[in-house]
């Protein structure tokens, strides 16, 4: 009897955590460039997850579905869906740019990892000038032993 109670309480279905706008891809197909205005967007998708204002209004809508992974991986979260919809609205309130990013497109995004280099050498005028200024700040009377 105890085994029956334990097995019925522990479900076999995975628990899915859903955050953001449900069915974002399907709803984004209802929005048309140069036809849909701000009010229509809010009616279809609701208020944006993030709203940015530069030259134009930019609305970000996010959908994320996660589930717990296998018991072997100790319940680590696994992404089922990770969608982002970016809508850019002109000053008249009409949609003029729409971008949809799903989990596969986000894996293809690359991050630039350039390093800043120092442009002066030890023999340059700037290095000599800054070194002499540092020396004057550290020893204004010139009484310290020179290296």
19-30 per-position pLDDT tens digit: 888 898 999 999
Ramachandran quadrant class, 20 (left: phi over 0; alpha: psi -120 to 50; beta: rest): left
Q: What is the pLDDT of residue 20?
A: 85
Band the pLDDT of 147: cuts 50, 70, 90.
low
Burial 121-130 (b: 16+ CB within 10 A, else e): eeeeeeeeee
Q: Give the residue with greater pLDDT, 88 vs 14.
A: 88
How would CATH label the architecture of 11-110? 2-Layer Sandwich (3.30)
Domain ranges of the chain: 11-110
Instruction: Give the tens place of pLDDT for each residue, 56-110.
Output: 789 999 998 888 766 656 667 777 888 899 999 998 999 999 999 887 766 666 6
Write down the pTM of the prediction. 0.61
């Amino acid at each position: 009897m105890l085994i029956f109670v334990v097995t019925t309480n522990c479900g076999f279905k995975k628990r899915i955590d859903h955050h953001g706008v449900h069915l974002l891809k399907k709803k984004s197909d209802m929005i048309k460039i140069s036809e849909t205005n701000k009010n229509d967007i809010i009616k279809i998708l609701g208020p944006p997850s993030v709203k940015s204002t530069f030259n134009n209004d930019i609305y970000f809508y996010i959908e994320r579905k996660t589930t717990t992974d296998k018991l072997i991986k100790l319940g680590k979260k696994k992404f089922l869906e990770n969608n982002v919809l970016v809508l850019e609205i002109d000053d008249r309130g009409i949609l003029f740019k729409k971008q949809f990013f799903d989990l596969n497109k986000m894996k293809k995004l690359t991050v630039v990892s350039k390093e800043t280099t120092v442009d002066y050498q030890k023999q340059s005028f700037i290095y000599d000038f800054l070194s002499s200024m540092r020396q004057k700040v550290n020893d204004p009377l010139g009484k310290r032993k020179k290296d």
